[in-house]
Structure 1
Amino acid sequence: MNCLALWVMICKTKPWNRSTLFLCNLTMADIMWMLTLPFLIHYHFARLQWVFGDLACKMVRCMYHACFYSSIYFVTCISLDRYLAVVHPLQSFFLLSRRQSLYVCVGIWVLTSVVSIPSALMTFITPCSQNRTVCTLYIFSYNTNKTLPYTSVSTVTGFALPFVAICYSYWSCTKELKKHSIQKKKKLFRLMYSVLIIFGLMYLPYHLVRNICIVLRAFWSNQTRLVYSSDVAFSVEMAICSFNTCVNPFFYFVTSSNGKNSLKETLSTCCGETKQQVRFKVAAVHPV
């Protein structure tokens, strides 16, 4: 779905606007995030046996962290873009032009890459029991004097502030739309509420459980059963957030009118070509 959305945006959606730019970067963030999956899938299927070396371990963990938060920031940008379009439609082009939007995207990539470096520095491969070599994740490290401040800052800047911005954007959009008699108003409300609920349900439990894992190691490390339970819960939340990251671009893409029309056109063209190919083969086998 990510590759299809990216291809349609690049080849079929013209001209590009701010929303398309943010959507394209969101899609690229999630595609890059998916590139880390083969390494992690092999790692887990091999029963936590890392065979790709220390550098690859650090790069995979860093890339996972950077793309994860890039996705959150681009979702926030899309929400702010809708806020400007609905609440400040005339001033929006001066407040955030396409060139400024490009600068914002570049800034997000630079920011998330820089702030993800500590996650790589706190990652290393280490020998474990049963002749295994584990690619550690900083969440499971007992060096909590580094991991606890890092996860706290990441939670505030990477989730809490974006979540507040998204809530404010859709709350303001709701207030503004109620003042006008717009067709499909209920559909717009359902769409905004769905985005807000999905974002909260996916990312809020993830950050809560992640911080709980580190806090337990910092203050109750002797509670091994509790620590193990929190680790299992965090692994489940990682899987849930991973699913949301995969469907993010496609979900936001089809909810935009230009994107939806381009996607319908592409699919109808593909289906039409397929039908013509089938008719040609049938005619070749059974000539009239």
Structure 2
Amino acid sequence: MLNKTVNNALEEVLCPLEGSYKHILLPFAYSVVFVLGLLLNGAMLWLGCCHTKEWTCTTIYLVNLAGADLLYIFSLLLLIINYAMEDIWLFGELLCKMVRFLFYNYLYGSILLLTCISVHRFLGICYPIRSLAYKTRRLAVIGTAISWILVLQLLPSLIYARTGFINNRTVCYDLTSPDHFSNYYLYGMVLTMSGFLCPFLIILICYCLIIRSLIQSTGNTILTSSAARAKSIWTILLVCGLFAVCLVPFHITRTIYLYVRVHWKADCHLLQGATLFYKIWRPLVGLNSCFSPPLYFLSGQTNTIRQILEWRLHKVDPLPRPTVKGKESVAPRGTPPHAVE
């Protein structure tokens, strides 16, 4: 153990990693994500839990997605303070482990829930009749539960995350301490495959089949309606943009960083470059937490939002209930139908 500590100290002397950019970039980036994510996901959770008359499958997925986002967003407060104080960790090893765990919990939990939403959308568009038996709230709850069970593969990150000392300062290591990188490398590669690459391929296949179905369904009035087409296209663009901007570059730079850190750490310039790209791209992953609310709008929940706005402006009941007229229950005029998923 003493030899490993000495070797790590020698590595820091021979190849010092520039980190001054983190003291400006990361507090600013995390502050922006904290404010936007808290407002947007808080509003989405409030609408989903308090003002949705009947939860659909998509509502179940998106409320869970907002919950995962908010857990991560609250953990950003500690990171903002940490990097604003020039990377000095003041909160102990337990909170260090929790902050790192919540980041990956949010990251891979949201990817798996987006996979559920994509499969749900694929079934609804490509097999609108045959998929009715599978688009139930019970199966949505089961799908959500399976997603969170799969997130348990992140538990080893609680072991690897730890605090340490660099230049007589207590730091909270991003992945793990230098003397555990060789062990973490294999775990990190497996996590990238199971938590990102496999779900990403499923999402890609689903959206390719959806696009083909939309192109071929010119005679189908359900799929060729302008509203259904627009919603499907915007959902595809949003999720693909999320992966292109936030998730794919992060996992590429993270994989390169891990590989260089384990196999090419003697090349100081290469190690510095890999570290820089990874550290810069990491806060951009937090923008992923701001993409959930647009998905809420595109999932057909805009009727609820419109009703709430009308209630705020004109004091109209935001969720009108059927009124009794004679012996028949008649919905008030203007009551929108349930959203079609």
- 2:22 matched residue in structure 1: none
Conserved in 2, the CA contact under 8 Å of 1:8 and 1:266? no
Conserved in 1, the CA contact under 8 Å of 2:162 and 2:176? no
Shift of 1:87: 1.4
- 1:162 matched residue in structure 2: 199
Q: TM-score, normalised by structure 2?
A: 0.74
| Correspondence 1:69 to 2:112 | no
SS in structure 1 at match of 2:165: strand
| Correspondence 1:24 to 2:63 | yes
- 1:256 matched residue in structure 2: 299
**C-alpha separation in 1, matches of 2:275 and 2:165:** 20
Conserved in 2, the CA contact under 8 Å of 1:144 and 1:218? yes
Q: Return the letter of the residue paired with 2:294.
A: F
1:39-78 equivalent positions in 2, closer than 5 A: 39-78=78-117
Deviation by residue 1:227-248 (Cα, 9 ceiling, x = unmatched): 1222221122111110122x12
Task: Structure 1: state its 5+ residue gaps.
Answer: 274-288
Which one scores higher on RCO, CA 8 angstroms, separation ≥ 6? 1
| CA distance 1:100–1:194, change in 2 (3 Å) | closer
**C-alpha separation in 1, matches of 2:88 and 2:235:** 43
**C-alpha separation in 2, matches of 1:139 and 1:204:** 22
Deviation by residue 1:43-87 (Cα, 9 ceiling, x = unmatched): 111111111111111111112111111011111111111011111
Conserved in 2, the CA contact under 8 Å of 1:139 and 1:210? no
| CA distance 1:268–1:132, change in 2 (3 Å) | farther
Q: Return the letter of the residue paired with 2:68.
A: A
**C-alpha separation in 1, matches of 2:69 and 2:313:** 27
Conserved in 2, the CA contact under 8 Å of 1:84 and 1:92? yes
Conserved in 2, the CA contact under 8 Å of 1:142 and 1:217? no
1:167-178 equivalent positions in 2, closer than 5 A: 167-178=204-215
Runs of 4+ off more than 6 Å: none
**C-alpha separation in 1, matches of 2:176 and 2:248:** 16
**Equivalent of 2:162 in 114, 124, 134:** 124
Deviation by residue 1:173-223 (Cα, 9 ceiling, x = unmatched): 122222135122652334423422332332111000001111001111012
| Correspondence 1:150 to 2:187 | yes
Conserved in 2, the CA contact under 8 Å of 1:6 and 1:24? yes
| CA distance 1:164–1:197, change in 2 (3 Å) | same
**Equivalent of 2:242 in 198, 201, 204:** 198
Q: Return the letter of the residue paired with 1:270.
A: R
Q: Which moved more, 1:76-85 or 1:172-181?
A: 172-181
- 2:175 matched residue in structure 1: 138
CA RMSD, 1 decimal: 1.9
| Correspondence 1:86 to 2:125 | yes
Shift of 1:3: 0.5
SS in structure 2 at match of 1:36: helix
**Equivalent of 2:281 in 237, 261, 269:** 237
- 1:95 matched residue in structure 2: 134
**C-alpha separation in 2, matches of 1:122 and 1:209:** 20
Aligned length: 269
**C-alpha separation in 2, matches of 1:217 and 1:195:** 31
Deviation by residue 1:78-98 (Cα, 9 ceiling, x = unmatched): 111101111122232323431
**C-alpha separation in 1, matches of 2:98 and 2:295:** 29
- 1:2 matched residue in structure 2: 41
**C-alpha separation in 1, matches of 2:165 and 2:127:** 57
- 1:34 matched residue in structure 2: 73
- 1:284 matched residue in structure 2: none
| CA distance 1:115–1:66, change in 2 (3 Å) | same
